[in-house]
Chains A and B, each alone.
Chain A
Amino acid sequence: DAGVTQSPTHLIKTRGQQVTLRCSPKSGHDTVSWYQQALGQGPQFIFQYYEEEERQRGNFPDRFSGHQFPNYSSELNVNALLLGDSALYLCASSLAGINSPLHFGNGTRLTVT
């Protein structure tokens, strides 16, 4: 049973470019959340998708957008990259319901130069 898979594992982009990160949830899960983890910090919530809609959003600018597909997989898009966007981006999946634990992927390491 595959867990949460994210691609790519590493990515290097130039300031001003756009990037797309991908996530496949754990089998049976229907909710996907994205977190940004800066070096030496805890993960920060970006947004959450359920039934192909953004359900919750953290304090991130509109440059951060996402999508969820009918098969529950998800993409995170970041436009106009800034140096400060360099971080580990974590995807977490779960089954809708308040007692369902989050399962995290290993993340995508984004470096903006």
Chain B
Amino acid sequence: GDSVTQMEGPVTLSEEAFLTINCTYTATGYPSLFWYVQYPGEGLQLLLKATKADDKGSNKGFEATYRKETTSFHLEKGSVQVSDSAVYFCALSDLGSGGSNYKLTFGKGTLLTVNP
């Protein structure tokens, strides 16, 4: 079945450091790929997505490129801020049936802490 493996955390960085969180996936077909972020006490928020090979998703300074040849979707940010502290989840989609849309398969999440 589909699966997502992401970098074990926690990750602790100083403000303005470069961030990479690795994510690889296994899937049949051609899934869409996502990064979600979960701030303390909140639900998941979509950070960015890519729907086909070589697409780059980007948002709030974060970016990730869909690499079909390496089955990867690594998250990067050039300069992190304290407000980026959260849990980051990599996920892939599986097309739903009938009129419904996809269901998501998530990785285990990576806790990022950014210190001032």
Contacts and interface: CB of A to CB of B under 8 A. Distances in A.
Given A106-B43, A107-B43, A50 B103 contact: no
Q: Which of B45, B103, B107 has the most CB of A within 10 A?
A: B103
A61 B98 CA distance: 23
B96 interface: yes
Contacts, number: 72
B93 to A, nearest CB: 8
Interface residues of B, number: 27
B108 A96 contact: no
Interface residues on A, range: 20 to 34
Given A94-B101, A106-B43, A56 B106 contact: no
12 contacts: A33-B103, A40-B109, A42-B106, A43-B106, A48-B96, A48-B100, A55-B97, A56-B100, A99-B101, A104-B44, A104-B45, A105-B43
